[in-house]
Amino acid sequence: MIHRTRTLAAVVALSFGLGLTAPVLAPATAQSLFSPAAHVNEGVVTQFEVTQRQRLLEVFRAPDTSREAALQDLIDERLQLAEAARRGIVVDREAQIAGETEFAARADLEREAFIAELTRAGIDPASYADFIRAGVAWRQLVQQRFGAAAGQIPDDQVQAAADAPPAPELRVLLNEIIIPADTPQRAARAESLIPEIESIRGFGAFAAAARTYSATPSRERGGAIDWLELSDLPPQLGQILTALEPGEVSPPVRLPNALAFFQLREVGEVPSNGTPTQLDYAALYLPGGRSEETLQRAAQIAADADTCTDLQAIGGRIGAATQADTLPVAQVPQDVALELAQLDPGEVSMALTRAEGQTLVVLMLCNRIYRAPDAEEPNLGQVRASLGNRLTAQQAENYLAELRANARIRYE
């Protein structure tokens, strides 16, 4: 649960920052709403809770928004809350409000405004409160059980970690299918294709689907794209890709204007020069979408612009809107980050649109900003804290796995 909560926190600012809302849940009978979805020891997870959690995952743009993921989250939380209560941990109102306030702050919202946004998206505030309560209780329990050990890492282990060179980074070779969802009609069509694409087995079948459905230039290559370094991608997308075996297809990844599927071809390693902490990029917006005239105009702009400063200057001359951002990697919109991952500084992408396809985005990577490992002596306190956090997270995962293994879980 610690891992999933961290993922949701990383994307919640993106979801609300883009002004995304979700349709109100379809009505259901009381019997179906509150019938069991699963039995967990002596407790029950209801269909209503699963529907609410799935909606929460969708609004937060979590990597996996399936019903199965929502149900597994709720089962884990039942186990976490029960174990916390068994060990004397109860989340009081003060801790509950503090947890809700802290989570809302990650979206730059006050607690009440954040809950109001969720309510407008069809989410019962009680469902959000349950989500926060489980997270707070689990963190308290993990700290109680493992916090002391995390702070007692031997000095020689801390020094060895501080002196170690950057570990090799993973890179992935992928095939992609990017289906437009920039209008309600296109979004409905993209959703209807999910079962077909998720059921694909084999590279040939995926390539055929890419040629049929994908809207990006890679469709002509059966969806094949070049090597991508995982450190250049949003963390939540990297988690999806590293969970795949070669030939497997990802669950749908919901981008702001599209639905994306990825098939893993190969995983490799590259020597690490450090991990980018921020992406510096610029965009110029051209009306006309992907019309031939607009694409030709964008190609000329790309040829004339060698730097982001050039791109913004051109925008000023022609009266086009421009944007420049320097953001932590996790806060870059997923579709933008996916394009930037394929660019070197000064290179341009023209694959994205905005305004329901009516505006073409001329996107340029300005720079990847890395932490300089040799700039100064490493802060051993920070290294110790990092090792401690990693150790605690692993112990928490093992603890939860043990609770699952010992639980009586029955699915309906």
Over residues 152-166, the pLDDT tens digits come to 788 877 776 665 545
Q: What single letter denotes the amino acid at residue 63?
A: P
3 state SS of 24: coil
3 state SS of 390: helix
Label residue 330 by pLDDT band (50, 70, 90).
Answer: confident
| Domains contained in the chain, CATH given | 2-153+389-411 (1.10.4030.10), 169-270 (3.10.50.40), 277-370 (3.10.50)
Average confidence score pLDDT of the chain:
85
Mean pLDDT of 378-388: 77
Residue 72 has pLDDT above 80, yes or no: yes
Strands (E), 292-408: 321-328, 348-354, 359-370
| pLDDT given for residue 304 in this prediction | 96
Strands (E), 63-202: 169-180
- State both tokens at 341: 């991952």
| pLDDT given for residue 271 in this prediction | 64
| pLDDT given for residue 223 in this prediction | 95
Q: What single letter denotes the amino acid at residue 57?
A: L
**Which residues are paired to 269 by β-bridges?**
170
Mean pLDDT of 242-258: 89
Residue 130 has pLDDT above 70, yes or no: yes
CA-to-CA distance for 1 and 393, rounded, in angstroms? 10
Q: Do residues 229 and 169 make contact, with C-beta atoms less than 8 angstroms apart?
A: yes
Q: For the ranges 79-93, 125-139, 151-165, 360-374, which has the lowest average pLDDT?
A: 151-165
| pLDDT given for residue 76 in this prediction | 95
| pLDDT given for residue 371 in this prediction | 53
- CB burial of 311-334 (b: ≥16 within 10 Å; e: otherwise) equals bbebbeeeebebeeeebebbbbbb
Q: Name the more confident of 274 and 8.
A: 274
C-alpha 168: how far from its chain's center?
23
Q: Do residues 81 and 122 make contact, with C-beta atoms less than 8 angstroms apart?
A: no
| pLDDT given for residue 129 in this prediction | 95
Mean pLDDT of 175-200: 93
Residue 14 has pLDDT above 70, yes or no: no
CA-to-CA distance for 343 and 151, rounded, in angstroms? 41
Residue 356 has pLDDT above 70, yes or no: yes
Query: Which phi and psi angles does 339 have, rounded to 5°?
Result: -70, -45
CA-to-CA distance for 158 and 383, rounded, in angstroms? 6
| pLDDT given for residue 243 in this prediction | 86
Q: For the ranges 156-160, 256-260, 302-306, which has the lowest average pLDDT?
A: 156-160
| pLDDT given for residue 407 in this prediction | 93
Q: Do residues 245 and 263 make contact, with C-beta atoms less than 8 angstroms apart?
A: no
| pLDDT given for residue 309 in this prediction | 94
